[in-house]
């Protein structure tokens, strides 16, 4: 299979006062195109640090991170920003929507940064909002939407640039159980369309929806096992 992500000896160190903390310790990992992967681990295991590096929000202290065959490990901020905009769609626990913008405007933001013409921005944003079931809410601002609807806007925003991977960081953390099921069903449908999905979660029932569960402990991969059919 075609590799989407390849990590080789990935390390990340932080300076906390006079001490150096090793958040990641020699991570070797391959994620193939079209996989649906869950990353789990207790607090302090390194999963958030790993997610930040996978999302080009941070750079490793050592080792290599290849995305679609390109080594992004040593890229500077402007190059990382381009990778984030073109290659990665983010779904956050806190939605990260701009409160003064309506749903359509929030979804078009990545396209503005990407230099997409205005008429195409609107067309693409309307299409993904329809795909997530919000075609009747395009003029609503975040405070006029339920938690589930806000997360659907965030999913649409993640999809609008047709990214290589979707990174979901605790995507149901602020949602009730029924809405959580709806959002995870939506993410499952996105995967079935051929998207590569990486979900960071502490919830076993969320992780069990993936094809593969990677568990971290003390900055290392403790286990990496197939998860069987998606429920």
Q: pLDDT by residue (tens digit) across 103-156?
A: 999 999 999 988 899 999 999 999 999 999 999 999 999 999 999 999 999 999
Angle at the Cα of 45 from the Cα atoms of 221 and 24, rounded to 5 degrees: 65
Mean local confidence (pLDDT), 31-58: 94
pLDDT exceeds 80 at position 25: yes
Q: Is 218 exposed, middle or buried (0-12, 13-18, 19+ CB in 10 A)?
A: middle
Note whether 95 and 156 are within 8 A (CB).
Answer: no
pLDDT exceeds 70 at position 229: no
Q: How confident is the model at residue 46 (pLDDT cuts 50, 70, 90)?
A: very high
Domains along the chain with CATH numbers: 35-62+75-226 (3.40.50.300)
DSSP state of 144: G
Q: What is the CA radius of gyration of the chain?
A: 18
Angle at the Cα of 40 from the Cα atoms of 231 and 95, rounded to 5 degrees: 80
pLDDT exceeds 90 at position 173: no
What is the Cα–Cα distance from 167 to 151, expressed in whole angstroms? Answer: 14
pLDDT exceeds 80 at position 231: no
pLDDT at 228: 63
Q: Is 10 left (phi over 0), alpha (psi -120 to 50) or beta?
A: beta
Note whether 25 and 218 are within 8 A (CB).
Answer: yes
Note whether 216 and 223 are within 8 A (CB).
Answer: no
Q: pLDDT by residue (tens digit) across 195-224?
A: 999 999 999 999 999 999 999 999 999 999
CB contact set of 85 (below 8 Å; sequence gap of 6+): 110, 113, 114, 161
pLDDT exceeds 70 at position 7: yes
Report if pTM > 0.85: yes
pLDDT at 15: 87
Q: pLDDT by residue (tens digit) across 52-87?
A: 999 999 999 999 999 999 999 989 999 999 999 889
Note whether 226 and 212 are within 8 A (CB).
Answer: yes
Q: How confident is the model at residue 174 (pLDDT cuts 50, 70, 90)?
A: confident
pLDDT exceeds 90 at position 100: yes
The percent of residues in the chain predicted with pLDDT above 90, rounded, is: 78
């Amino acid at each position: 299979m075609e590799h989407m992500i390849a990590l080789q000896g990935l390390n990340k160190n932080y300076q906390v006062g006079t001490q150096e903390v090793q958040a990641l310790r020699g991570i070797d990992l391959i994620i193939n195109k079209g996989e649906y992967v869950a990353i789990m681990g207790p607090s302090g295991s390194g999963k958030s640090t790993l997610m930040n590096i996978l999302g080009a929000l941070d750079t490793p202290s050592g080792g290599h991170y290849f995305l679609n065959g390109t080594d992004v490990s040593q890229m500077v901020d402007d190059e990382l920003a381009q990778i984030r905009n073109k290659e990665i769609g983010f779904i956050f626990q806190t939605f990260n929507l701009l409160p003064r913008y309506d749903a359509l405007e929030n979804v078009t933001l990545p396209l503005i940064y990407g230099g997409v013409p205005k008429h195409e921005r609107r067309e693409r944003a309307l299409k993904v909002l329809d795909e997530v079931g919000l075609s009747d809410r395009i003029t609503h601002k975040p405070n006029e939407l339920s938690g589930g609807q806000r997360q659907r806007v965030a999913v649409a925003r993640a999809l609008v640039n047709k990214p290589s991977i979707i990174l979901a960081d605790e995507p149901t953390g602020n949602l009730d159980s029924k809405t959580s099921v709806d959002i995870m069903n939506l993410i499952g449908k996105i995967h079935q369309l051929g998207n590569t999905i990486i979900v960071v979660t502490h919830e076993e029932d969320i992780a069990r929806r993936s094809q593969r569960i990677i568990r971290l402990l003390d900055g290392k991969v403790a286990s990496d096992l197939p998860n069987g059919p998606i429920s």
